[in-house]
Amino acid sequence: MFGLIGHLTSLAHAQRVTRELGYEEYAEWDLEVWCSAPPQIVDEITVRSITGQVARGLYVESFFLPEMLAGSRIKTAIRKILNAMAHAQKHGIDITALGGFSSIVFENFNLSQMLRVRNIELDIHRFTTGNTHTAYIICRQVEAAMVKYGIELTKATVAVCGATGDIGSAVCRWLAQRSEIGELLLVARDPQRLADLQGSLGRGQVMAMPEALPKADVVVWVTSMTQGMSLNPAELRRPCVLIDGGYPKNLATQVQAPGVYVLNGGVVEHSLDIDWRIMKTADMLNPARHLFACFAESMLLELEGWHTNFSWGRNNIAIESMEKIGEVSQKHGFRPLIA
């Protein structure tokens, strides 16, 4: 059985979707109540592969909200993630994806040193960040979008915002070594980590966001910002493709301007309907078939019987692992969302 640990993107989002799902009492909760809520299994999932295989899973809502990363609530955020992982393990789930900020909290606060949760010793082999599949899907979206919008690969400039992150660094590695793109711009805040990345890639220019955006034909957004930012489309090239892989979204509002195309980054489309309700909460266009690539990774690991932490740690995603998960992704009927 596979599992997905998820969370909503803000208190306002949480209040809206709980009301839409008919949980009127949760819609009244303020942040304090969300802070005290224990994890819950809120959905049962059946996914069918195009091979005919069937996998079953559970969705664990952690009740974490990004607002908890501010100031005095860090301990609450940590507790939310550890409790959700313990809940998944207690229910016998073999492989669980740590969606959105779950894996970021795990890494940023070194939770691998805190694996004892009451009477449960967390077995990290039962968890995957899902970031290998996410990075693979984003790279495929970059390549497909260039073809769709007539951007020539070898002359294209791609800016990766969040380049030094787990997903961002994997995307940079793939683009630098596998795709023959013209220029790679590396955007993040910490200069040392940027210099280390540039050194390991052997290419790419480190650039601040305001300088990089007007130069880019394609911008990949994979930062860990807890709130989106707005962009002035007048400063972008035409055509320009914005691939927003953040959760919460890195772009606060959809940029609407002729020649600027925004893609739902790190999202896959399945060939068959998935039996679940939960993707309705993520504002997907087709919630029966569209899902986050990290969630799809745990489905793939279950379908393949690879009950192991396929994606783990930070900034160590190998191109070979991206190819391997990409192969089984196609085999089971998932494809990058390009529309």
Binding residue (CB under 6 A) for ligand NDP from 104, 122, 156, 172: 104
The yes or no reply on residue 247 touching ligand NDP (CB under 6 A) is yes
List, in sequence order, the alpha helices (H) in the chain.
11-20, 24-27, 31-36, 74-90, 101-108, 131-148, 166-177, 191-201, 209-212, 293-304, 319-331
Joined tokens for residue 86: 């313990």
- Does 245 participate in binding ligand NDP (rule CB under 6 A)? yes
- 246 in contact with ligand NDP (CB under 6 A): yes
Q: Which residue is nearest to ligand NDP (CB)?
A: 165
Q: Is 157 helix (H, G, I), strand (E, B) or coil?
A: strand
Coil, helix or strand at residue 48: strand
Which is closer to ligand NDP, CB of 314 or CB of 324? 314
Residue 186 binding ligand NDP, by CB under 6 A: no
In whole angstroms, give the CA distance from residue 282 to residue 45. 16
Distance separating alpha carbons of residues 219 and 158, to the nearest angstrom: 6
Among residues 91, 155, 189, 280, the one that binds ligand NDP under rule CB under 6 A: 189
Nearest to ligand NDP of 79, 133 (CB atom):
133
Query: What residue ranges in 156-315 does DSSP mark as E strands?
Result: 157-161, 183-187, 205-206, 218-221, 240-244, 260-264, 267-270, 290-292
If one asks whether residue 132 binds ligand NDP (CB under 6 A), the answer comes out as no
168 binds ligand NDP (CB under 6 A): yes
CB of 192 to ligand NDP, least distance (A): 9
CB of 292 to ligand NDP, least distance (A): 3
Distance CA 339, CA 336 (A): 9
CA distance 124 to 101: 17
- x/- mask, ligand NDP, residues 279-298, rule CB under 6 A, reads -------------xxx----
- In whole angstroms, the minimum distance from the beta carbon of 25 to ligand NDP comes to 28
Cβ neighbours of residue 74 closer than 8 Å, sequence gap 6 or more:
68, 109
Which of 61, 67, 94, 166 binds ligand NDP (CB under 6 A)? It is 166
266 touching ligand NDP, by CB under 6 A: yes
Half-sphere exposure at residue 71, Cβ-oriented, CA atoms within 13 angstroms: 1
Which of 48, 290 has the CB closer to ligand NDP?
A: 290
Residues that bind ligand NDP (CB under 6 A): 100-101, 103-104, 130-131, 134, 161-168, 187-190, 193, 222-225, 245-247, 266, 292-294, 314
